[in-house]
Amino acid sequence: MIDKQYGKLSLVCDNCGDGKEGFNNISEILEFVSEEGWITRNANGTWEHYCPTCSEVAEI
């Protein structure tokens, strides 16, 4: 999921809660997602995000 805190965006894994904070905009998150091997999935209209570890283990 993408969280907004203190005017900054955070990327949080929907499975384990791990993630990274301090993004200024969605573009920075999308860049991080593709560079770090995160997986995004659209579930019933909601975007879910999974870190590389969970995407491997859970085979999402």
Summarize as ranges the residues that interact with Zn ion (CB under 5 A). 13, 15-16, 18, 51, 54
Nearer to Zn ion by Cβ, of 7 and 42: the residue is 42
Give the whole-angstrom CA distance, residue 10 versus residue 54: 18
Q: How far is the CB of 10 from Zn ion (least distance, A)?
A: 14
Choice between 11 and 51, CB closer to Zn ion: 51
Annotate 18-47 with DSSP letters as a single string.
Answer: -EEEEESSHHHHHHHHHHHT-EEEEETTEE
Nearest approach in angstroms of CB 3 to Zn ion is 14
Nearer residue to Zn ion within complex by CB, 23 or 49? 49
Question: Position of tokens 């965006």?
Answer: 9
Token pair for 48? 């879910």
